[in-house]
Structure 1
Amino acid sequence: MLWPLLLASCSAPGQTVSSQSTPRHQQLQAVKTWGIQLTGYGNTRLEAVAASKFDLVVVDPTDDNAVLWTTAEVARAARGTSGQGKLLIAYLSMGAAESYRPYWKPGWRVGNPAWLLAEDPDWPGNYDVAYWNTDWQRIALAQLDRAIDAGFHGTYMDLIDAYQRNPERPSARADMVTWVCRIAAHARARDPEFLIIPQNAADLLTDPRYAACVDATGQEETFVYATDQPTEPERERTQLADYQLWKKAGKPVLTLDYANNPALVTQVYQKARQAGLVPYVTKVGLDTLPAPR
């Protein structure tokens, strides 16, 4: 789970994916730098995103006041202030509900509606959901539609690993695969090039259905736990082994680690790139967008 919210040729780091006329999947393959900002937009709105030199940026589909970005703002951020162009991807939590979202209704509580499960004790306002429930899926797909309408190039989907929280449900893993593929089919019926990028749950790629539905993955805390705590060698080895499946399938792996220590930040970028990954190291708040490196 993410931490905040209380020319299409291979380019070197610092260069950007260029022409938006290039097929989007081809642009995705060319991504060498990426970033994510989910809050802290303030009065400057998406200007920092527009000015950034990243190949791909993930942003929340709403501003700090939960108001949807306009199509003009999304287009400007994707085009860039210098016309450099980038893939602009909408963050959506598809495996959990959030009480600060526009869809949330007064009076909702655990068990009402039926798909609303336990509140996450570590993240007040975030709730597990029965993601296989059609009523929840209708709400989530409406969020997706708004992102498509706004002009986003794809979605970065959080809580896809929610199936791990349902050990009492034998079909939980298969249900998540079915749900992700329904999201992909829904989006591509409207925009055939729409990119589907789930976060975490790297092992789902072993399911052929899932592999056919997703385009890349985002992975948290491969090298560093939040914040400045190196992960265990065994975790790193296991994660990197899982990522090889994605690389062999031709699907980029975007890593997200949280560190402030300059030496550690440099080390993470080096290790990730040596493994053929696309790294981003930032502060846990995800409320700024530092320059690519």
Structure 2
Amino acid sequence: MPSPLHRYKAEFFKALAHPLRLAILDALREGEKTVTVLQKELGVEQPAVSRQLAFLRQQGLVAVRREGALAYYRTKDPEVYAFLYPLSPTEPGAVRDSPLFHDHLNLRGTSACVRVGPHETNTLRSGTGGSIEQMGRWGFPQGGFRRWGRGVFWLTLLLLALAACRGTGEAPEPPGSPPPAPGPAPSVRTLIYQLTGYPASGLTALGAAAAGLYVIDLTKDGATPWSGDDLAALEGKPVLAYMEIGGMENYRPEYSVVQKDAPDLLLNSVPGWSGEWYAKYWDERWWNLVVRPRLDKALAAGFKGIYLDLVDAYEGINLNLVPGETRDSLAVKMVALLGRISQYVKAKRPDFWVFPQNAPELRMRPGYLPAIDGIGLEELFFYATDKPCTDSGCQERLAHARAIRDAGKLVLTVDYATRPENVRAACEKSRAERFVPYVTVVDLDRISPLCP
């Protein structure tokens, strides 16, 4: 079975295994550049450049410096070029001299042989003064390759070497990964989660409940956003704005816009929820028409953060509607969207919180944990309604929740129970795990008692 280190290595090389990303890194070798400059140099559309820069930032390969309205991108660790262009006569500094190569591939004191043809073998040896020896023919024309093309070739050889090596130990943090985002205040102990049924008086009743944290819909009625004056009724307590990022309900104001301008973004319906559809959340039009406008509304109203639902859309989308996609590729794209959301809001307000709901298994994917401040988990201890959650799926999600908590993130639990003994049990189980509990009804249309 692959070790965590093998999985990390695979993800690290996956970050480089895209021609446009390699071209961007190649261009940034000359120094800082803006998106506009990169777009002109590479001859591609601006959204494509932005997407790949965001991905490279998530993987810790690219950093950004802001100067006024401009953002200047640069390579975060120049030694990455030792991966891309090793042993080239025009690229001084072979792989054998790169600490990045040895440290991240964990080859110190090891050797690995890779068969690359009937009679050709590569031997990788490392350690102090380590070397890479080449024997035999490589089977490709001399010259004629663009620099990033040579990089792809050598990355392939390195991946073959890794397949022959046996890694040990735990995976290190990705090179140059950003520090964890600022987390919620540890004093948060109580939660109220209400999405509908707000009285005409606004949020006064919620404020009177004196919870430590609130999750409410982005809007009062599905369409009209809350204002800063509305949120003042919660007496300065942190409030998260609920919004969907993996789908769309038909009563939202963006629905008519999507239907008019990009109806193909909507896919199959969400089981059990009439008038709601999964969406192509990775499409740039989805970002422009739905996600970014919602984020801007939350920022403008003065919310403390966002609470993102349908993150698990990658599991529910009908693959027949998205040819070429797999569950794995959709999961990668969901994490990329979370990373983009986090970067967008934190560039405007560094202390803005990002909480996805459900899909805790995404924590295993690179870029997920640095993008979030916490997570909300439904039905961790009781299914709707009053049904104990004891199956293997519940235990698996609990294990993920513990790992997220141990990573320094706040875990909110939302269980659906009404029987007093079950309400009490859900509160106690969550407290025992050092989570923040709330027990309510599945309609989320009322204020339920706070867990003691």
Q: TM-score range by the shorter chain?
A: 0.7 to 0.9
Quote how far apart the aligned CAs of 1:115 are.
1.0
**Which residue does the alignment assign to 2:275?**
125
**Which residue does the alignment assign to 2:226?**
69
Within 1, Cα distance between the matches of 2:204 and 2:355?
A: 24
- Given the alignment, which residue of 209, 214, 218 partners 1:57? 214
| Deviation by residue 1:132-164 (Cα, 9 ceiling, x = unmatched) | 011111121101100110000000000011111
Asked if structure 1 preserves the Cα contact closer than 8 Å seen for 2:195 and 2:445, the reply is: yes
| Deviation by residue 1:45-87 (Cα, 9 ceiling, x = unmatched) | 111122221110000111136211122112332x2xxxxx411
| Deviation by residue 1:254-280 (Cα, 9 ceiling, x = unmatched) | 111100101111011111111221111
Asked if structure 1 preserves the Cα contact closer than 8 Å seen for 2:308 and 2:357, the reply is: yes
Quote how far apart the aligned CAs of 1:240 are.
1.6
Within 2, Cα distance between the matches of 1:36 and 1:147?
A: 17
The list of structure 1 runs, each at least 4 consecutive aligned residues, that deviate by more than 6 angstroms after superposition, is none
Asked if structure 2 preserves the Cα contact closer than 8 Å seen for 1:153 and 1:194, the reply is: yes
2:298 is the counterpart of 1:140: no
| Deviation by residue 1:180-200 (Cα, 9 ceiling, x = unmatched) | 101111111111111000000
Within 2, Cα distance between the matches of 1:192 and 1:263?
A: 41
Tell me the secondary structure at the aligned position of residue 205 of structure 2: helix
TM-score, normalised with respect to structure 2: 0.56
2:191 is the counterpart of 1:40: no
Within 1, Cα distance between the matches of 2:361 and 2:214?
A: 24
**Which residue does the alignment assign to 1:267?**
425
Tell me the secondary structure at the aligned position of residue 208 of structure 1: coil
Tell me the secondary structure at the aligned position of residue 340 of structure 2: helix
User: Structure 1 counterpart of 2:294, which letter?
Assistant: Q
- Given the alignment, which residue of 223, 233, 242 partners 1:91? 242
Tell me the secondary structure at the aligned position of residue 272 of structure 2: coil
User: Structure 2 counterpart of 1:234, which letter?
Assistant: S
Matches within 5 A, 1:148-167: 148-166=299-317
User: Structure 2 counterpart of 1:262, which letter?
Assistant: P
Asked if structure 2 preserves the Cα contact closer than 8 Å seen for 1:222 and 1:235, the reply is: no
**Which residue does the alignment assign to 2:402?**
244
Tell me the secondary structure at the aligned position of residue 255 of structure 2: coil
Unaligned runs of 5+ in 2: 1-180, 320-324
Within 1, Cα distance between the matches of 2:315 and 2:183?
A: 32
Within 1, Cα distance between the matches of 2:317 and 2:222?
A: 32
**Which residue does the alignment assign to 1:21?**
none
User: Structure 2 counterpart of 1:137, which letter?
Assistant: W
Within 2, Cα distance between the matches of 1:182 and 1:54?
A: 30
TM-score, normalised with respect to structure 1: 0.84
Quote how far apart the aligned CAs of 1:107 are.
8.8
Matches within 5 A, 1:19-34: 25=182, 27-34=184-191
**Which residue does the alignment assign to 1:205?**
363
Asked if structure 2 preserves the Cα contact closer than 8 Å seen for 1:70 and 1:150, the reply is: yes
Q: Would you tell me which structure has more helix in proportion to its own residues?
A: 2
2:341 is the counterpart of 1:172: no
Larger Rg: 2
Within 2, Cα distance between the matches of 1:51 and 1:200?
A: 28
**Which residue does the alignment assign to 1:101?**
252
Within 2, Cα distance between the matches of 1:282 and 1:255?
A: 11
Unaligned runs of 5+ in 1: 1-23, 80-84
Higher relative contact order (CA 8 A, sep 6+): 1
Tell me the secondary structure at the aligned position of residue 157 of structure 1: strand
User: Structure 2 counterpart of 1:277, which letter?
Assistant: F
Within 2, Cα distance between the matches of 1:145 and 1:230?
A: 39
**Which residue does the alignment assign to 2:380?**
222
Quote how far apart the aligned CAs of 1:211 are.
0.9
Query: How many residues in Structure 1 have an aligned counterpart in Structure 2?
Result: 263
Quote how far apart the aligned CAs of 1:232 are.
2.5
Quote how far apart the aligned CAs of 1:26 are.
5.6
Tell me the secondary structure at the aligned position of residue 104 of structure 1: helix
Quote how far apart the aligned CAs of 1:121 are.
4.2
Within 1, Cα distance between the matches of 2:253 and 2:445?
A: 20
